[in-house]
């Protein structure tokens, strides 16, 4: 992948000034190495990210053309406590300088960084609600940050989309093999599991979203990932799913009300125009779907209400 300019990708070059929300200006890098207590918290994580950037040299430094780190000039940090304090706090020796100046090549990305991200995404996509996932969110967040700074955003975005697409295609095939009596419940599990995973995946990739997807693609990562589920799962199953939902609606308690509500609301979120396939069904869970009631149809509404009451009584419910 060709290296892009930092200004085009919104990477570390752009992140040196106040836009970066990380205080990488003059003297800022010395504060960063002193730990989170020395750096302002208000501007971190792009004003509201889910995870805090790791302290210390976990963040990659960006060298100037002449090999000098921004924010590490002696004059910039001298006011923070003198040369002795700087040496004690930053402790830049030969090995530390080599680490800080380390460049992530595309080979490094493919062999070291992406495998860590790949493994974490796998666990997030397949976890059950309430499961404990033994991954370091700080480490994953740091991997994403470093790859963005080293101009690997395009490759990382491509790998993420491919990874999730392959996962959703497997989910779709599993649903196709489901018997009708389990189809609705399994679709509900797949939808809930995926939407739950996005609550972790999207924040972990917030730097890529901010400095690549929003800046260069004029899109949003969450919208892109929801669209993937729509295209690779929901669209392929909507014409099998909808008749089963309508049948379940006409047979009270065939599926739980919460399952019906989750699926209907989820389908509406994915593609609002699917309401036209079953307006009466969607209107039970989405407000203002149907047109306002008119006086001429009051008798029909009353008949529907009486029918529902009879069905409830037949299933053991009393007035």
Helix/strand/coil for 124: helix
Q: Which residue has the higher pLDDT, 132 or 103?
A: 103
Instruction: Record the tokens describing residue 35, joined without a space.
Output: 């730990």
Residue 7 located in a structural domain: no
> The CATH number of the domain where 279 resides is what?
1.20.1310.10
The mean pLDDT value of the chain amounts to 74
CB atoms within 10 A of CB 257: 11
Q: Which residues of 98-119 are buried (b: 16+ CB within 10 A; e: fewer)?
A: eebeeebeeebbeeebbebbee
Q: What is the rounded distance in angstroms from the CA atom of residue 239 to the CA atom of residue 261?
A: 18
Q: What is the rounded distance in angstroms from the CA atom of residue 45 to the CA atom of residue 230?
A: 29
Residue 53 located in a structural domain: no
Residue 3 located in a structural domain: no
**Number of domains into which the chain is organized:** 1
Helix/strand/coil for 69: strand
213-271: per-residue pLDDT in tens?
A: 999 999 999 999 999 999 999 999 999 999 999 998 888 778 898 999 999 999 999 99
CB atoms within 10 A of CB 194: 22
Q: What is the rounded distance in angstroms from the CA atom of residue 161 to the CA atom of residue 177?
A: 25
In a 13 Å sphere around the CA of 273, the CA atoms on its Cβ side amount to: 2
Range of the domain at 258: 106-315
Residue 133 located in a structural domain: yes
Residue 100 located in a structural domain: no
Helix/strand/coil for 65: coil
CB atoms within 10 A of CB 183: 18
Most confidently modeled of 73-77, 226-230, 245-249, 295-299? 226-230
Answer whether residue 294 shows pLDDT above 70.
Answer: no
Average pLDDT over residues 160-169: 98
Burial (CB count <10 Å: 0-12, 13-18, 19+), residue 140: buried
Answer whether residue 12 shows pLDDT above 60.
Answer: no
Answer whether residue 59 shows pLDDT above 80.
Answer: no
Residue 76 located in a structural domain: no
Q: Which residue has the higher pLDDT, 53 or 300?
A: 300
CB atoms within 10 A of CB 162: 10
- Position 21 scores a pLDDT of 37
Cα angle at 222 between 221 and 223, to 5 degrees?
Answer: 90
Average pLDDT over residues 288-308: 67
Residue 177 located in a structural domain: yes
Instruction: Record the tokens describing residue 53, joined without a space.
Output: 């950037």
111-164: per-residue pLDDT in tens?
A: 999 999 999 999 999 987 667 677 788 899 999 999 999 999 999 999 999 999
């Amino acid at each position: 992948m060709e290296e892009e300019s930092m200004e085009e990708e919104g990477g570390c070059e752009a992140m040196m000034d106040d836009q970066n929300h990380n205080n990488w200006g003059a003297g800022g890098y010395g504060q960063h190495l002193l730990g989170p207590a020395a750096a302002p918290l208000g501007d971190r994580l792009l004003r509201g990210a889910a995870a805090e950037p790791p302290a210390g040299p976990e963040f990659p430094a960006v060298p100037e053309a002449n090999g000098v780190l921004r924010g590490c000039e002696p004059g910039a940090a001298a006011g923070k406590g003198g040369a002795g304090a700087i040496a004690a706090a930053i402790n830049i020796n030969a090995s530390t300088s080599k680490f800080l100046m380390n460049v992530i090549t595309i080979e490094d990305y493919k062999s070291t960084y992406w495998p860590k991200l790949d493994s974490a995404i796998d666990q997030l996509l397949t976890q059950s609600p309430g499961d404990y996932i033994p991954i370091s969110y700080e480490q994953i967040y740091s991997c994403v940050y470093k790859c963005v700074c080293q101009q690997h955003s395009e490759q990382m975005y491509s790998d993420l989309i491919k990874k999730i697409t392959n996962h959703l295609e497997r989910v779709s095939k599993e649903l196709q093999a489901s018997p009708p009596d389990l189809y609705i419940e399994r679709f509900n599990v797949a939808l809930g599991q995926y939407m739950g995973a996005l609550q972790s995946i999207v924040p972990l990739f917030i730097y890529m979203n901010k400095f690549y997807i929003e800046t260069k693609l004029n899109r949003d990562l969450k919208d892109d990932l929801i669209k993937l589920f729509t295209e690779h799962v929901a669209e392929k199953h909507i014409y099998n799913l909808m008749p089963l939902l309508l049948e379940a609606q006409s047979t009270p308690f065939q599926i739980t009300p919460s399952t019906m509500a989750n699926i209907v609301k989820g389908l509406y979120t994915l593609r609002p125009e699917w309401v036209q396939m079953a307006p009466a069904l969607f209107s039970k869970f989405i407000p203002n779907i149907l047109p306002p009631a008119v006086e001429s149809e009051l008798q029909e509404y009353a008949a529907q209400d009486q029918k529902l009451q009879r069905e409830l009584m037949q299933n053991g419910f009393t007035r």
